[in-house]
Amino acid sequence: MKKALLVVYPEQYIIEEAKALAEAAGYEPADIISQKYLSRAKFGIGSGKAEEAARIVRENHLDAVVFDARLSGSQTYNLAKLCKVEVKDREKVILEIFAMRASTAEAKLQVQLAELNYELPRAKDKVRMAKKGEQPGFFGLGKYEVDVYVRMMKDRVGTLRKKVDEVRNRRVIFRQHRARMGMPGMAITGYTGSGKTTLFNSLAGESKDVGVGVFTTLSPTTRGIMVDHTKLLISDTVGFISRLPTYMIEAFKSTLEEVSYSNLVLLLVDASEPEEKLVRNFESCTWTLSELGVPEGRTLVVMNKADLLTGEQLGEKAWRLGLKDPVAISAKTGAGFEKLMGAIEERLGASRQVATTTPDGGVNAPH
């Protein structure tokens, strides 16, 4: 494993998540610098801190700097030049994890598209720097060739988008088929590591990979289960994470469209998280769901990992999330499943009564 210096905001839960991300991407967080501001113009961090980072890297023979925020192309370049090792920002780290774990052709295409969307503004930065003479000979290219390189990247984005759309169309056909068969769908969504796959496995009698780290699941799986004498299609989905750029959601849209077109969206929260993290993660999930066009009324919030909490703690956390009649379960032990199934039946029953069919054949539940 490469040893890295982690640069991160000074909050315990943010540090923990940053560590988990770094590890999942193959970096061992050997040292940490925490800073309240990670958006300073030249290096992301202030010049003094950047010097300190360079010293830590040098003295401890580290291989990389992992920066848990977004960096522009020029910030990355400046920091890498100062520290003399590679610099990976948060988005790049997430992309690397996705690239390592993408196993289906579709996921691979999606990751490539997200990578290009990540590189494009940075390539433009490089063009600007090359033009100002600040970064001559980037890739051994002169400034005109760099212009050509950016144009080439834009073309590739176009080609990839078309391919991703083709796969997406196949999903649309599959969805139309399901809708014609009158099968309702439920997507299990939530922050990465909240226990979606564990729940999916329990409900569907499957044995999909469950992980301790982040982003164990990248491709959605759908299975049918019987609920109230009706076949319900449940889908396990890719986890959400805070500060996820919209272009990444865009790249994974065909996967996440399963969510947009579901009759019911189960939002699973890890109730064992400390309160502040719980609330922040919940907010980032509801933000992502709204980015995906899921109306609030279609979401069923379920508190998971209840086995790790007392009833009193659960009540307190439900209150913090504003849940009036909380459904609390343990995906691991099966506790609370009866209430969960009851809530699912009730919500599906209500959605069936007023369900209409959308032009593409998807079933559109009431807003």
Binding site for ligand GTP (CB under 6 A): 190, 192-198, 210-212, 214-217, 239, 304-305, 307-308, 330-332
Q: Which residue's CB is nearer to ligand GTP, number 207 or number 353?
A: 207
**CB within 8 A of 359, min separation 6: which ones?**
none
Q: Which residue's CB is nearer to Mg ion, number 77 or number 240?
A: 240
Q: Which residue's CB is nearer to Mg ion, number 78 or number 216?
A: 216
Least distance to ligand GTP, CB of residue 95, Å: 16
> From the list Mg ion, ligand GTP, none, which binds 192 (C-beta under 5 to 8 Å, kind-based)?
ligand GTP
Measured in whole angstroms, the distance separating CA 309 from the mean position of its chain's CA atoms is 26
| Rg over CA atoms, the chain | 23
> From the list ligand GTP, Mg ion, none, which binds 307 (C-beta under 5 to 8 Å, kind-based)?
ligand GTP
Alpha carbon distance 171, 80 (integer Å): 42
Q: Which residue's CB is nearer to Mg ion, number 221 or number 286?
A: 221
Q: Which residue's CB is nearer to ligand GTP, number 129 or number 203?
A: 203
Give the CB-nearest residue to ligand GTP. 239
Least distance to Mg ion, CB of residue 238, Å: 8
Least distance to Mg ion, CB of residue 185, Å: 18
> From the list Mg ion, ligand GTP, none, which binds 334 (C-beta under 5 to 8 Å, kind-based)?
none
> From the list ligand GTP, Mg ion, none, which binds 332 (C-beta under 5 to 8 Å, kind-based)?
ligand GTP
Alpha carbon distance 200, 235 (integer Å): 8
SS3 for the chain is CEEEEEEECCCHHHHHHHHHHHHHCCEEEEEEEECCCCCECCEEECHHHHHHHHHHHHHCCCCEEEECCCCCHHHHHHHHHHHCCEEEEHHHHHHHHHHHHCCCHHHHHHHHHHHHHHHHHHHHHHHHHHHCCCCCCHHHCCHHHHHHHHHHHHHHHHHHHHHHHHHHHHHHHHHHHHHHCCCCEEEEEEECCCCHHHHHHHHHCCCCCCCCCCCCCCCCEEEEEEECCEEEEEEECCCECCCCCHHHHHHCHHHHHHHHCCCEEEEEEECCCCHHHHHHHHHHHHHHHHHCCCCHHHEEEEEECHHHCCHHHHHHHHHHCCCCCCEECCCCCCCCHHHHHHHHHHHHHHHHHHCEECCCCCEECCC
Span near Mg ion by CB under 5 A; candidates 37-45, 72-80, 209-217, 269-277: 209-217
Q: Two tokens at 285?
A: 């999930």
Least distance to Mg ion, CB of residue 332, Å: 13
Give the CB-nearest residue to Mg ion. 217
Q: Which residue's CB is nearer to Mg ion, number 196 or number 298?
A: 196
Q: Which residue's CB is nearer to ligand GTP, number 189 or number 263?
A: 189
Least distance to ligand GTP, CB of residue 256, Å: 13
Report how far apart the first and last C-alpha atoms of the chain are (Å, whole number).
Answer: 48
Least distance to ligand GTP, CB of residue 359, Å: 32
Least distance to ligand GTP, CB of residue 269, Å: 10
Q: Which residue's CB is nearer to ligand GTP, number 53 or number 234?
A: 234
Least distance to ligand GTP, CB of residue 203, Å: 12
| Residue 217 interacts with Mg ion (CB under 5 A): yes or no | yes
> From the list Mg ion, ligand GTP, none, which binds 74 (C-beta under 5 to 8 Å, kind-based)?
none
> From the list Mg ion, ligand GTP, none, which binds 198 (C-beta under 5 to 8 Å, kind-based)?
ligand GTP
Q: Which residue's CB is nearer to ligand GTP, number 77 or number 240?
A: 240
Q: Which single residue is written with the structure tokens 């504003």?
A: 322
Total interface residues for Mg ion by CB under 5 A: 4
Least distance to ligand GTP, CB of residue 308, Å: 5
From its phi and psi, is residue 139 left (phi > 0), alpha (psi between -120 and 50) or beta? left
Residues 144-203 that bind Mg ion (CB under 5 A): 196-197
Q: Which spans of this chain sit near Mg ion (rule: CB under 5 A)?
A: 196-197, 216-217
